Structure 1
């Protein structure tokens, strides 16, 4: 590229903006920016020739931090002071993750002069706090050339607003955008509209985007090293003003691991990590001699259960939506509705209340990538396709009232044809109820292809079992099984446990728990010079079984402990906990038992049959009110509460039901307002 072309590229944006203000002169807007070669010495000369605040932009992993350090080294070699603000809280070039830092280049590298806490790794979501924090550091910067290493947010509204906001609010005079020859320069239109000098520079040919897990490991290592000398401090939460985006105070399990910072007069005083919130006391890990104030900043940076510093999901948002289940048929008529239909997306499954919050209880839990389904209760099944019945392996019945078991006929009919055994679990007398339903039909033409069911009745710590097959009158009694802690199913991928509650008749509540997943970090594997093989399966098996001292034979015929290899190569995705409970009386025994079962659950599907004004009706029929449902969820510290099984008398006032629920519990997942209005119109 000729030097003259490079100068034209630098001047393009500023001249374009200036000429647009001239009513006489009209020029064409350029449609591209030529890329300057990756030559740090030449770039440093250009920067020294004009400009004091330089913003370096580009996608993650394109080499911004490397180029920033190289430019600083060259500029310092010319005898000029060079400072830098690393403005990417997720992968900072220096300083702590979750912060932006001001540094000065020295012979040994960057020396941190000051930092401002953001308590987030997400520069796109919290771009205004990011710009504000960078501006505070600029005020503290000594005179000299200042490089600003921007986050790798270059797409969509977030990228556009971040670029233009930083240029305008930070008084940037030069933007250096790194790009690749094979792609269009990022944010091209925004760059061409900026009233500053713009330089598009080719990325270093060896620049590579690091993997998500590698970035998480790097930032975690920096954060852990910072906290190595930390001590635990206990503070009264009542004397602290919370700012940022803290989780609800009444959800203590959402607090441990959160990055937090104490603020004074808008400046960061200290930064640490929350250990626990209990009984109004906040335990925080802070480095020795750290000061505290009465203002505490929290956002979403959090050390998760797998030990990695990442971004916590927004509280009570997430994975739960009110949508038509993807595998359910439409309602039979346009004016019929069971109300909002919650669909919860888990890591390895999704769960849908097929008939909505008003109609018969039926929770379909679909295990992804396994062609396998679990059902909790068997109300009206008319909206489920027959192929779902073919893939149902286990059904968990709360009790045998018709709205909870009437859909068995769909399951029975759909499985004619020699399908595998389907297991049903439920309260005492379930065997007789299922046998009666099967024997109510004539089976003279199915031969030996009748559906087969194994029924297990829960009697305390015993399961009474029988095998039933359509076309055979007699049942086959199976050996009794002893169970511990209500464990019904212990699958390699999940478990299901149960407790017995009271509804005037025994009812079963269930908890589904997926097991933690162990994943090999391929980037780390390559970094350690190791090749994949059967040894990785043995490593994961030993870690899953807790045998961390086991010796693992590596491809190079050396051995290492499973614990050592696991820390370097394996990430752990914690399991999830879903609880299903319906038709239970509001008694102290029921409340205590269900709260214990649902302790720290990710999602609690719980009945909420009546408003508080109808609590006498709830008492007579053995159901929960909105207040009782909410209090159980709060006592259990569940992450999300999904209420259902509402009385149809509330079809025209569903907003009132949800209002009472949210008054009793801050964790209720609300359906969209327009869906509530649609229900009222249809009713």
Structure 2
């Protein structure tokens, strides 16, 4: 039999009377933006006016009703608001992911609360397993007497089955009719402002990392770039002594902003709360876990084949793009970078083509060839055949000699019946700081194009991305490439509406001025008033930083190659790098001009990349690819090891 909870009207004075008739511990629940904090304050004000001692716990670390983001705080109501008595650091804004530490922290605060009414303002997590476990855990483990669930009239009461199963009294209450869910960026700005104000009263201290016990979920120590901006807390005997923000990690010395009166101990708590590059306090991605997948999206999906033997097929997810290692880590190199919003593809190398549909070939605008060994350029025949028709010229970039190899492949066929529909290509060979270029059409002519001078290896510089190259040594010149998307400016629509402004061309001008650094430019608004770009940007615009993907394969393990690739891949988000041989086979690696797995990992660590995707493994390891990943992992924690089932799903030797 299904029961439903009746909804009580939103009337704080009546609710206060009801709550006073029960026990002292009251849990206020509801989705984000439904008015829990407002109601908690209204109830506290009413009870305090009756000379009742009323205490509250702000238990939402992402949007606390009082106290600092990343913490839970205990306060007493004293007009005109909450006076903080104690707090516990969580160093996360994600109550759903870290629900057990949250409940534990609230429990410690309850033990410190003086006798009196206690109102607990719960996080707005009301869906799924996280919502169910958080509600049940708080209500039962904290000995809650009354659960007050705020709900909108137009929606079912959240977690109704869990509420009905609780031993506590349950009251379902209408949300205030004016309660509105704030925008994500508006919440981020509000919490950031509160956090920045707090940090103004801190000072810089230096801690020796070797003498610290790191707790929570700290990033790897060998990835210093993952540390700046993270919240951290000084812990002593399980209690929070101070909270601050990491400035930098260098040579195992940690620079941290902490209150002057903080007590330094040997325990430091870190999780995922972090001030990002856009200046907003948010949640850092779990290190090297979210952005790398092993299932391609449908618009980049290679044809399935019964004979596939390439091993794991990594897919890196970028903002607005996917990078798919089409043939896996064992077969021919072919990285398909799909620019999703443009319906456009870039290819890095042209190995075995049998797993890509012709429609992808139609949308390839640029191909970046490392060198002309057959496993890297043999797929050109697929591209050639697929582009017969009225297609724009496809650009090919590569080392010296590429023109002759492409011309030879084209000349191997008779083109007497295609007329002017022959595939068109513009080929650019990298000769130091120059690009030597020609235009070729199958069945047509060949046209020399003017040379182009390039600086710092910049091959392409488009509005949304750029591509750079360096030349490495493999016994023959080999090109490695860096794809870099550009920072994206995003307008917060909630803030736009709050300012009473309508969208229009003025927003494009605002973003252009901000992108060009013209902070003082005057932007004319729809009401004909003018405001500075910097002022509008601070209110309306957030910046999503660009991302960097580096592709490098077939390079000798030399000091010169290591230095050049480390510089190109510096702080890359993704490094696709060959790891051809194990260290035990280093002589074979030296003789053939390839990297060992260990060298691959050392380069990634030296370049401080965020995620390493090794590939181009020798076939001799196809029954034991785990050995390659283990050898890399010994020197590089940024490697993402694929699931075991993808390691086991490989061809057995004949």
1:604 is aligned to 2:575: yes
CA contact (8 A) 1:226 1:287 kept: no
Deviation at 1:368, TM superposition (A): 1.1
Provide the residue aligned with 1:534 in structure 2: 505
CA contact (8 A) 1:380 1:406 kept: yes
Question: Which residues of 2 match residues 89-128 of structure 1 at below 5 A?
Answer: 89-128=61-100
1:187 is aligned to 2:159: yes
Whole-angstrom CA distance in 2 between matches of 1:114 and 1:99: 10
Whole-angstrom CA distance in 2 between matches of 1:605 and 1:68: 52
Distance 1:324-1:39 versus aligned 2 partners, 3 A rule: closer
Q: Deviations over 1:57-87 (max 9, x none)?
A: 1111111111100000111111101100010
2:421 corresponds, among 434, 449, 452, to 449
1:213 corresponds, among 185, 189, 193, to 185
Moved more, 204-213 or 280-289: 280-289
1:640 is aligned to 2:640: no
Paired positions, count: 653
CA contact (8 A) 2:204 2:255 kept: yes
Whole-angstrom CA distance in 1 between matches of 2:384 and 2:202: 61
2:555 corresponds, among 576, 580, 584, to 584
Provide the residue aligned with 1:5 in structure 2: none
1:84 is aligned to 2:49: no
Q: Deviations over 1:508-549 (max 9, x none)?
A: 000000000001111112222322221111010011111212
With normalisation by structure 1, the TM-score equals 0.94
Q: Deviations over 1:28-54 (max 9, x none)?
A: x65111011111100000111221000
Whole-angstrom CA distance in 2 between matches of 1:90 and 1:445: 66
1:516 corresponds, among 465, 487, 502, to 487
| Root-mean-square deviation over aligned CA pairs | 1.2
Deviation at 1:556, TM superposition (A): 2.6
Provide the residue aligned with 2:321 in structure 1: 349
* Counterpart secondary structure, 2:136: helix
* Counterpart secondary structure, 2:271: strand
Unpaired runs of 5+ in structure 2? Answer: none
Whole-angstrom CA distance in 2 between matches of 1:437 and 1:550: 54
2:404 corresponds, among 420, 426, 432, to 432
CA contact (8 A) 1:428 1:457 kept: yes
Whole-angstrom CA distance in 1 between matches of 2:651 and 2:304: 17
Q: Deviations over 1:346-388 (max 9, x none)?
A: 1110000000000000000000111110000001111111110
2:383 corresponds, among 370, 388, 411, to 411
CA contact (8 A) 2:309 2:651 kept: no
Whole-angstrom CA distance in 1 between matches of 2:373 and 2:410: 16
* Counterpart secondary structure, 1:369: helix
Whole-angstrom CA distance in 2 between matches of 1:515 and 1:464: 27
* Counterpart secondary structure, 2:617: coil
Q: Deviations over 1:232-261 (max 9, x none)?
A: 111111111100000000000000110110
Whole-angstrom CA distance in 2 between matches of 1:346 and 1:86: 36
1:255 is aligned to 2:196: no
Provide the residue aligned with 2:200 in structure 1: 228
* Counterpart secondary structure, 2:27: strand
Whole-angstrom CA distance in 1 between matches of 2:511 and 2:629: 44
1:200 is aligned to 2:172: yes
1:173 is aligned to 2:145: yes
Provide the residue aligned with 1:303 in structure 2: 275
Deviation at 1:680, TM superposition (A): 6.2
Deviation at 1:335, TM superposition (A): 4.2
Question: Which residues of 2 match residues 649-664 of structure 1 at below 5 A?
Answer: 649-664=620-635
Moved more, 545-554 or 371-380: 545-554
* Counterpart secondary structure, 1:592: helix
Whole-angstrom CA distance in 2 between matches of 1:476 and 1:605: 34
CA contact (8 A) 2:362 2:391 kept: yes
Deviation at 1:681, TM superposition (A): 5.2
CA contact (8 A) 1:336 1:682 kept: no
Provide the residue aligned with 1:20 in structure 2: none
Deviation at 1:289, TM superposition (A): 3.0
Deviation at 1:134, TM superposition (A): 0.5
Provide the residue aligned with 1:9 in structure 2: none
CA contact (8 A) 1:642 1:668 kept: yes
Provide the residue aligned with 2:590 in structure 1: 619
CA contact (8 A) 1:55 1:176 kept: yes
2:348 corresponds, among 354, 370, 376, to 376
Unpaired runs of 5+ in structure 1? Answer: 1-28
Provide the residue aligned with 1:560 in structure 2: 531
* Counterpart secondary structure, 2:478: strand
Q: Deviations over 1:463-518 (max 9, x none)?
A: 0111111112x421110100011000001000000000000000000000000000
CA contact (8 A) 2:460 2:468 kept: yes
1:670 is aligned to 2:641: yes
Distance 1:487-1:203 versus aligned 2 partners, 3 A rule: same
CA contact (8 A) 2:311 2:649 kept: no
* Counterpart secondary structure, 2:475: coil
Whole-angstrom CA distance in 2 between matches of 1:469 and 1:328: 29
1:238 is aligned to 2:210: yes
Whole-angstrom CA distance in 2 between matches of 1:584 and 1:236: 38
Runs of 4+ with deviation above 6 angstroms: none
Whole-angstrom CA distance in 2 between matches of 1:93 and 1:229: 21
Deviation at 1:624, TM superposition (A): 0.4
Deviation at 1:324, TM superposition (A): 5.0
Deviation at 1:169, TM superposition (A): 1.3
Provide the residue aligned with 2:112 in structure 1: 140
Question: Which residues of 2 match residues 474-489 of structure 1 at below 5 A?
Answer: 474-489=445-460
Question: Which residues of 2 match residues 6-155 of structure 1 at below 5 A?
Answer: 31-155=3-127
* Counterpart secondary structure, 2:34: coil
